[in-house]
Amino acid sequence: MSQLRRVEQELESHDVRVKLVTFDANFLARAYVQQTHLSWPLLVDAERSLYQAYGMLRATWWQLYRPSSIVKYLGLAARGVLPGKPGEDWNQLGGDVLIDPAGIVRLHFVSTGPHDRPPISRILKLVEQV
């Protein structure tokens, strides 16, 4: 998310609208928006219908706890970003979908691990190509 926020103005200059999607409950979504001062809409997909429509995966135990993931968690913790609370669904993975002005999917990125995201440069390149 911090990666995206760093290029917020650049995305705006290319007329890219950003919408975040969560499966968490509405009250958690509201709290998240307040805590992070999020400027983009946070859509609540409680039924996960859009997650399923775009084939977002669920993580295996190994994907969550392999050494590279643990290193990432430690790095985040060092920056004050603590892991989720017990009871949260840690297995649902995310992803990114870039849709062009005609409504055609130009990037369909399904994360294969908790920290697997496409480079922002890839998104900007796709937008700039058209």
Partner 1 sequence: MGSLEGKPAVAYELPDAAGHVHRMEDDRGHWLLLVFHRHLG
Given the rule CB under 8 A, which residues bind partner 1? 1, 4, 11, 14-24, 26, 28-30, 32-33, 41-45, 49-51, 53-56, 82-85, 88-90, 92-108, 110, 114, 123, 127
Q: How far apart are CA 18 and CA 128, in angstroms?
A: 16
Which lies closer to partner 1 via its Cβ, residue 71 or residue 76?
Answer: 76
Cβ-contact 28, 36 below 8 angstroms: no
**What is the end-to-end Cα distance of the chain in Å, rounded?**
25
CB of 1 to partner 1, least distance (A): 8
Return d(Cα 61, Cα 106) in angstroms, integer. 31
Whole-number minimum distance, CB 126 to partner 1, in Å? Answer: 9
CB 29 within 8 A of CB 42: yes
CB 96 within 8 A of CB 117: yes
> Minimum CB separation from partner 1 for residue 49, in Å?
8
Closer to partner 1 by CB, 66 or 98: give it.
98
- Give the shortest CB-67-to-partner 1 separation in angstroms: 19
